[in-house]
Amino acid sequence: MTVALASTVANDAAPGLALQIRGVSHAFDTKTGPLQVLDDVTFSVEAGEFVALLGPSGCGKSTLLRLISGLDAPRAGKLGADGVRIIGPDPSRLLVFQDPTLYPWRSVRQNLAVGLETRGVARQQAHRVDEVLKLVGLEAFADALPHELSGGMAQRAALGRVLVNDPRLLLLDEPLGKLDSLTRMTLQGELLKIWQTSRFTSLLVTHDVEEALLLAQRIIVFSDRPARIVCELEVPLSYPRHRDDPTLVALRREILVSLGHGHDL
Amino acid sequence: MSGLEATHPAGQGATSPVATRRAAASPIWRGGLGAASVWISAAALTVLWPDLTPWARTSLLATVQAVLGLVLAVLAVAAPGSRRLARIKPLAPWFAALPVILTVWQVLTAKTGLLPLPFFPPPQSILEVYTDDSGRLVESIVHSMLLLLPGYLLGGLAGFGVGVSVGWSRAISYWAHPILRFVGPLPATAWLPVAFFFFPGTRSASTFLIALSTAFPVAVLTASGIGSVSAGFYDIARTLGASKRFLITKVAIPAALPHVFVGLFMGLGASFAVLIVAEMMGVKAGLGWYLQWAQGWAAYANLYGALIIMALLFSGLISLLFAVRDKALAWQKGMVRW
């Protein structure tokens, strides 16, 4: 208890949020009837943990993130944050989408300040915007408009817009999915660094096995739609990790087998 | 940070060194000088070729043409490098074409009479309208603007309000949308007889109709603009704790603004039509009334003169709207334009 308090004071950052997912199922209504996307999903995430949700594209992982963010409510099951049932969006649980979805009429700085404005603290906490601009490396582009940014910079701004609010849980919905491989590698490193210093809980949805292995402490593998948990793996390696590490190569093989891609082409 | 994908936004649009050197090497604006010579030739022709029957303002026309030519020549020689001039330089072919058109017109009318009077007055007779009937014309312009602008602003505001409500609220849309779809396509001018009957005066009736004609396109386009806002924009704001008010004023409306301006543009066009018809039918003042008055006297020069003023006025208002739009939608630069 004393240790936890001391670290809170020292870091000045909100500690991570623990997550409880219990028997969650979800479906969408389509013209041809209900489309099941999540099937009885149960798992937990500890405070400050970095967990990857891995599975084929379109399997329903993103839906799960929307449920955790509180944007949608599940058809069945319960979702809890620190033991409290999730019933709606909350600035402590924030999403980063695959598309940056920056407001094109706002400059980078104004985009980062959106969360402060909605909470009515834009004036008092303006310094947070400057801090985060520096953190995501966009100081020089603070007054640029979104259409002037490259894909990587736009995604950094989107990440910054979330970080300004000191989230306790970061929901990353394939945030690097549309970037070129070099930018992607750079941003993976930066994301990891930010997570290591801020210690929020991270939940990363991805279909990239390597990305999951490089970033996450634990990987939950999902089946094709409707998404069901296939297996869970710990990644027992410290950071920074190397792509060619034999442990990672072995884990990669194990994951591919579990996804039905065990044979070489 | 990494700088891997950094592309500086200010990197575009710089003039190439080659272009700069060429501009510096040429001390005069050749296009402007060429256009100046055409204007001065046109002036000479106006004076030297006698009119079929003498017109009072032939020498004034020649003076105006010569002065315009001289101004162009001075600009071309004295300030060829100025920034303002750079903006109009591409117009040199038009500056040269205008005196040619004027001359052809003059030759066909005043000089040879190939096009018959009174239907085809020469340019000097239109100049005469501007010098001799300026009082009535200015009064008409003022009247038209005093009728158009309040109606347009009122209609724009009302249409915007209706559009936002219909676009945002499902309940309002349920009731208002069918009414809009049913009543909206009626041209506002069709309401004219009814409006003149219901309103205390022709002026208030016309203001109402101008507002109506503006409000319809603004409402429909604002509603569709708000309806087509990307769901991701709302999701982001909602996760960040946005209130309904924030979602409407800070997300939906800015995102719909490009549509709103299309509606304002269409509404402006519609309001011109209503203005002129209203002035012809009921309001005994303004440019529409002037047109009818001129027609009644078979004063075709006055008719064309008023039409030219109207064209200048209305295209000026549209340019003004575009300027406001460009300012409000500066963030769209580089995106799709209309």
How do residues B75-87 score in pLDDT, each as one tens digit?
Answer: 998 887 788 888 8
State residue B259's pLDDT score. Answer: 95
Homologous superfamily in CATH for domain A2-90+168-258: P-loop containing nucleotide triphosphate hydrolases (3.40.50.300)
A69-72: Cβ within 8 A, 24+ apart: A69/A93, A69/A94, A69/A95, A69/A171, A69/B239, A70/B239, A71/A95, A71/B235, A71/B238, A71/B239, A72/A26
What does B277-310 look like in DSSP terms, one character per residue? HHHHHT-S-SHHHHHHHHHHTT-HHHHHHHHHHH
- For the record, the structure tokens of B173 come out as 């849309």
Kindly report the nearest CA distance between residue A11 and chain B, in angstroms.
23
d(CA A227, CA B161): 44
Q: Which of B8, B239, B243, B333 to mutate to test the interface with A (most CBs of A within 10 A)?
A: B239
| Angle formed by the axes of helices B253-281 and B300-328, nearest 10° | 170
Residues of chain B found within 8 Å of residue A144, distances taken between Cβ atoms: 9
Identity of the amino acid at B321: L
Q: How far apart are CA A124 and CA A126, in angstroms?
A: 6
Residue contact B331–A145, C-beta within 8 A? yes
CB within 8 Å: B239 and A114: no
Structure tokens at B89: 């330089």
Contact A117 B243 (CB under 8 A): no
In what helix (H) or strand (E) does residue A38 lie, and over which residues does it extend? strand A33-45
Alpha-carbon gap: A37 to the closest alpha carbon of chain B (Å)? 20
pLDDT band, residue B334 (cuts 50/70/90): low
C-alpha distances (whole Å) from B164 to each of A8, A129, B58 are 45, 31, 56
Distance CA B201, CA A198 (A): 70
Per-residue DSSP letter, B116: P
Of the candidates A224, A215, A192, the residue with the CA atom closest to the CA atom of residue A61:
A224
Cβ–Cβ contact A232 with B under 8 A: no
Contact flag A165-B240 (C-beta cutoff 8 Å): yes
**Does the distance separating the beta carbons of A118 and B237 come in below 8 Å?**
yes
Which residue from B239, B250, B255 is facing A89, i.e. has the nearest CB? B239
Question: CA A238, CA B247: separation in Å to the nearest integer?
Answer: 43
In chain B, what residues touch A139 (CB-CB under 8 Å)? none
Confirm if A227 and A39 have CB atoms less than 8 A apart: yes
Please give the torsion angle defined by the CA atoms of residues B306, B307, B312 and B315, in that order, rounded to the nearest 10 degrees. 140
Which tokens sit at A47? 């405070």
Radius of gyration over every alpha carbon of chain A, rounded to an integer in angstroms: 19
For chain A, helix (H) and strand (E) counts, in that order, are 9, 10
Question: Tens digit of pLDDT for each residue in B172-195?
Answer: 999 998 998 898 889 888 998 889
Q: At A166, which amino acid appears?
A: D
Confidence tier at A264 by pLDDT (50, 70, 90): low
Per-residue pLDDT band at B282 (split at 50, 70, 90): confident
Nearest to B240 among A114, A150, A182 (CB): A114
- Asked if residues A169 and A16 have their Cβ atoms less than 8 Å apart, the reply is yes
Contact call for residues A41 and A227 (beta carbons, < 8 A): yes
Give residue-wise pLDDT tens across range A206-257: 888 888 998 999 999 988 888 888 888 888 888 888 888 888 888 888 888 8
CB spacing of A118 vs B241 below 8 angstroms: yes
Tell me whether residues A89 and B238 touch, CB distance under 8 A.
yes
Q: What is the pTM of this model?
A: 0.83
Q: Which two tokens stand for residue B13?
A: 């649009």
Domains of chain A: which residue ranges? 2-90+168-258
User: Angle, nearest 10°, between helix axes B253-281 and B287-296?
Assistant: 30
Contact A118 B4 (CB under 8 A): no
CB-based contact B33:B77 (threshold 8 Å): yes
Q: Which of B4, B5, B233, B332 to mutate to test the interface with A (most CBs of A within 10 A)?
A: B5
Query: For residue A226, is the peptide bond before it cis, meaning its omega torsion is within 30 degrees of 0?
Result: yes
pLDDT of B15 over the 50 cut: no
Instruction: Report residue B135 as tokens.
Output: 């009082």
Provide the token pair at A130: 């400057």
State the nearest Cα–Cα gap between B235 and chain A, in angstroms: 7
Amino acid identity, residue A46?
Answer: E
What is the three-class DSSP state of B155?
A: helix
Q: In this model, does residue A4 exceed pLDDT 50? A: no
Can you give the length of chain B in residues? 338
Write out pLDDT tens, residues A22-35.
999 998 888 888 88
Which is it for the CA torsion B322, B327, B328, B334, positive or negative? positive
Closest CA to A202 of A186, A220, A185: A220
Of A89, A99, A105, which is closest to B232 when you measure between CB atoms? A99
pLDDT digits (tens, 9 = 90+) for B39-54: 999 999 999 999 999 9
Closest CA to B176 of B188, B167, B189, B186: B167
| Cβ pair B209, B271 in contact under 8 A | no
Asked if B122 contacts B105 with a C-beta cutoff of 8 angstroms, the reply is yes
Residue A71 to residue A115: CA distance in whole angstroms? 16
Indicate the pLDDT class of residue B161, thresholds 50, 70 and 90.
very high
Element (H, E) at B245: helix B244-246
For residue B245, the chain A residue with the least C-alpha distance is A118
- Reported as a single tens digit per residue, the pLDDT across A120-159 is 888 888 899 999 999 888 999 999 999 989 888 999 999 9
Set of chain A residues whose Cβ sits within 8 Å of the Cβ of B242: 114, 118
Separation between Cα atoms, residue B197 and residue B49, nearest integer Å: 56
Domains of chain B: 17-116 (no CATH), 134-329 (1.10.3720.10)
Distance of residue B237 Cα from the nearest chain A Cα, in angstroms:
8
What 3-state DSSP class applies to B43?
helix
Terminal Cα-to-Cα distance of chain A (whole angstroms): 53
Per-residue pLDDT at B106: 95
- Calculate mean pLDDT across residues A44-65: 88
Q: What's the average model confidence in pLDDT over B222-247?
A: 93
The strand pair at A169-173 and A201-206 is best described as: parallel
In this structure, are residues A169 and A93 in contact, taking their beta carbons and an 8 Å threshold? yes
In angstroms, the CA A34 to CA A52 distance is 28
Q: Report how far residue A57's alpha carbon sits from residue A162's, in angstroms, rounded to the nearest whole number.
A: 24
CA distances from B178 to A19, B79, B174, B185, B187 (A): 47, 60, 7, 12, 17
> What whole-number distance in Å separates Cα of residue B67 and Cα of residue A35?
77
Cα B250 from Cα A158, distance rounded (Å)? 17
Preferred mutation among B8, B12, B236, B333 to probe A, highest tally of A CBs within 10 A: B236
Rounded to the nearest angstrom, the gap between the alpha carbon of residue B260 and the centroid of all alpha carbons in its chain is 17
- In degrees, to the nearest 5, what angle opens at C-alpha A230 toward C-alphas A227 and A233? 125
pLDDT for residue A11? 41
| Rounded Cα gap, residues A216 and B157, in angstroms | 53
